[in-house]
Amino acid sequence: EKQYVGFATLPNQVHRKSVKKGFDFTLMVAGESGLGKSTLVNSLFLTDLYKDRKLLNAEERINQTVEIIKHTVDIEEKGVKLKLTIVDTPGFGDAVNNAECWKPITDYIDQQFEQYFRDESGLNRKNIQDNRVHCCLYFIPPFGHGLRPVDVEFMKALHEKVNVVPLISKADCLTPSEVKKLKDRVREEIDKFGIKIYQFPDCDSDEDEEFKQQDKELKESTPFAVIGSNTVVEAKGQRVRGRLYPWGIVEVENQSHCDFVKLRNMLIRTHMHDLKDVTCDVHYENYRAQCIQQMTS
């Protein structure tokens, strides 16, 4: 049977006019290498973005880790088209010197703003290709007791430029109570260090109860604890994405095992439009104001 990611609800988020044109969304992943970034984006969109990876020779593979790689996939569900761009970034930690390890990433985000700014001031304004990054998933390792200095600095380098959504990676390495403890700690530290992560907009008072409940859960689940897997395993007679252990199976899409489904729903079903709005109205506007200031001073 066919599996659905769920973006067929996108038309409910925006005007019908844009339905025909289709939607586009650019998602970036960042964080230390080996935390499961590539695996998670694969799991999120049920596509194997990295299926050509095996074809690379050793030399190319070395290059790959120091480069930002952009993948675009066109997916269609129930007649709704989504052009999804994933920006995979080199994981830090490989280099001996991690100072300013976020620099290539912030440069990349700025370059997309710059391009958009140039196009917007040009003659062909109607057909601008929008490559701005709408969301950055930041991966926090499961093994520490909270944020490391590098996590704090990294997110602070990004937070004025892009919607940062923090994740606790490889949540299958932790017990539920450890997950809760780490989440509480990370939330505290995000506050303490003044990191401005993406804020879910408050819902209107006339929203229905179910929606309000969803919204509350979303806020309380931050930072989402996720598990990624590219393998299909059998659980209770059903074939699911999961990880097989001697003591049992963790299912990626089981809500009592991790927040994967919450994250995907947030990105695709409920908040994609808001993520794009904030990118345009806040982050891009900041960039634009700076450009104009520089031009006139």
Q: Which does 228 bind (CB under 5 to 8 A by kind): Mg ion, ligand GDP, none?
A: ligand GDP
Nearest to 101 by CA among 147, 158, 146, 34: 158
| 223 binding ligand GDP? (CB under 6 A) | no
Are 155 and 149 contacting, i.e. CB atoms less than 8 angstroms apart? no
Number of residues in contact with ligand GDP under rule CB under 6 A = 14
Candidates 26, 27, 37, 84: give the one binding ligand GDP (CB under 6 A): 37
Q: Which of the listed partners (Mg ion, ligand GDP, none) does 172 bind, with a CB threshold of 5 to 8 Å by partner kind? A: ligand GDP
DSSP 77-145: ETTEEEEEEEEE-PPBTSSS--TTTTHHHHHHHHHHHHHHHHHHTSS-GGG-------EEEEEEPSSSS
State in angstroms the smallest separation of the CB of 172 from ligand GDP: 5
Residue pair 226/168 in contact (Cβ under 8 Å)? The answer is yes
Q: Which helix (H) or strand (E) holds 185?
A: helix 176-192
Q: In angstroms, rounded to a whole number, what is the distance separating the alpha carbons of residues 121 and 146?
A: 44
Residue 264 touches ligand GDP, criterion: CB under 6 A:
no
- Would you count residue 43 as binding Mg ion (CB under 5 A)? no
Q: Which of 170, 241, 271, 276 binds ligand GDP (CB under 6 A)?
A: 170
Which of 10, 158 has the CB closer to ligand GDP? 158
83 vs 103: CA distance, rounded Å = 27
Shortest distance in whole angstroms from residue 60 CB to ligand GDP: 16
Among 28, 49, 140, 172, binds ligand GDP (CB under 6 A): 172
* Count of beta carbons in the 10 Å neighbourhood of residue 274: 17
Whole-Å CA distances, 100 to 89, 91, 156, 175, 258: 14, 13, 12, 33, 32
In contact, 86 and 49? CB cutoff 8 Å: yes
89 binds ligand GDP (CB under 6 A): no
Is 38 among the residues that bind Mg ion (CB under 5 A)? yes
Interface with ligand GDP includes 36 (CB under 6 A)?
A: yes
Report DSSP state, residue 237: T
Amino acid at 246: P
Q: Which residue is nearest to ligand GDP (CB)?
A: 36
Whichever of 91 and 214 has its CB closer to ligand GDP, that residue is 91
Selected binder of ligand GDP within 7, 27, 30, 38 (CB under 6 A): 38
Asked if 164 interacts with ligand GDP (CB under 6 A), we say: no
- The answer to whether residue 89 forms part of the interface with Mg ion (CB under 5 A) is no
CA dist., res. 26 & res. 76, Å (int): 16
Q: Give which of ligand GDP, Mg ion, none residue 35 binds (C-beta under 5 to 8 Å, depending on kind).
A: ligand GDP
Site membership for Mg ion, residue 39 (CB under 5 A): no
- By the criterion CB under 6 A, which residues form the site for ligand GDP? 33-39, 91, 170, 172-173, 227-228, 243
